[in-house]
Each structure stands twice: as structure tokens, then as C-alpha cells.
Amino acid sequence: MTDHTADAPLFVCYSRCSTCAKARHWLGEHDIAFTERDIKTDNPTKAELTAWYHASGLPIRRFFNTSGQLYRALGLKDKLPAMSDDEALELLATDGMLVKRPIVVTAHGILVGFAPEVWRTSLASTDDGIE
């Protein structure tokens, strides 16, 4: 279910990601309209990632796709702890495959990764959500 209104949550995903497919299905099951954006073809900008990072309250490492091939190829497990938040955000903005997905951006918060219990609680407490 995709809704292209400004009020709908933004669902940032990768079309070939099975977790994103489960998350999309979950949103549909709960009648939550959303605007979908493919992270591979329309990677979030550094400004967007910075805003989402600050709004989320999560550590910067939670925004990295730690199971991805690119993360491993770049040796980020060892490099990330020494990076500043700014350097990490700059790196994330270079390639959508580095970014953890899905991400749901609402007027009330940011959800990173698919956790149905967290999504239910978060989206149920907003105008975006479920009852």
C-alpha cells in the first residue's frame, strides 16, 4: 500500500531485501499508508541521515547494514569504532547498501530495522498508526 502524501510515513527499503518485504507486508496488514523509497536507487543524503540519526536517539552503528557485503569488504567492523559520527554519516551517504534497512520515518520518530513489536508500539502511538 503506497500513499504519496507528505503525511504518510517514508518507508526506505531495498527491493531485493527479504526483511524489507516482510516489513512492507506488515505495514499493509496494519493498513498503514506509506511512501516507498528504494535505498539502492535513491540513497539518503548526509543531511537526511544526520537528521534521522539525531531524531532516533540510536547509536550511529545501528544505521549500518552490518550483515552486508560492502560493510564486510570495507572492514567497517574494525574501522567504525574509530570514526566520528560525522565521518560515519558521510560514509553512509555514499552507498545505500551500507545503510540498515528498512527505515521508517514519521513525524513522530525513526524506526531502523524491522522489529514488529517496536513498530506496533511506535506506530500505534501516532497518527500514522494502528489501534
Q: What percent of the chain has pLDDT over 90?
A: 83
Summarised one tens digit per residue, pLDDT across range 36-70 is 999 999 999 999 999 999 999 999 999 999 999 99
Task: For residues 25-29, give the mean pLDDT.
Answer: 95
Three cell numbers written together for 87: 565521518
Query: What b/e readout covers 34-70, taking b as 16+ CB neighbours within 10 angstroms?
Result: bbbbbbeeebbeeebbbebbeebebebeebbbeebee
What pLDDT shows up at residue 4? 42
The pTM for the full model equals 0.87
User: What region, left, alpha or beta, does residue 31 occupy, with left being phi > 0 and alpha being psi -120 to 50 degrees?
Assistant: left
